[in-house]
Amino acid sequence: MPSSPCRSGATPAHGFTLSFTVNYLDRGIGDRVVAKGFLERQGRSVYFAHGEAWVDDRVMIASA
């Protein structure tokens, strides 16, 4: 099994997608797109998270 992208030494968490909505905010014109993910809250079986996509660390082009 490949290593988990989570914190070093942390046990990987598995869950299911209850809802997933993407809001496209702008065009992705630039040199580099960076995606960022954030864990907001964690319960026993449900995790709340959001993500963002940024162009050149200046313009947010999408949120989820």
pLDDT tens for residues 43-59?
Answer: 888 889 999 999 999 99
How far apart are alpha carbons 44 and 50 in whole angstroms? 18
The two three-digit tokens of residue 17, written as one number: 């997608």
Residues 6+ apart with CB under 8 A from 55: 26, 28, 29, 30, 32, 33, 61
Is residue 31 helix, strand or coil? coil
Query: What is the structure's pLDDT at 61?
Result: 97
pLDDT tens for residues 3-47?
Answer: 445 556 677 777 778 899 999 999 989 999 999 999 999 888 888
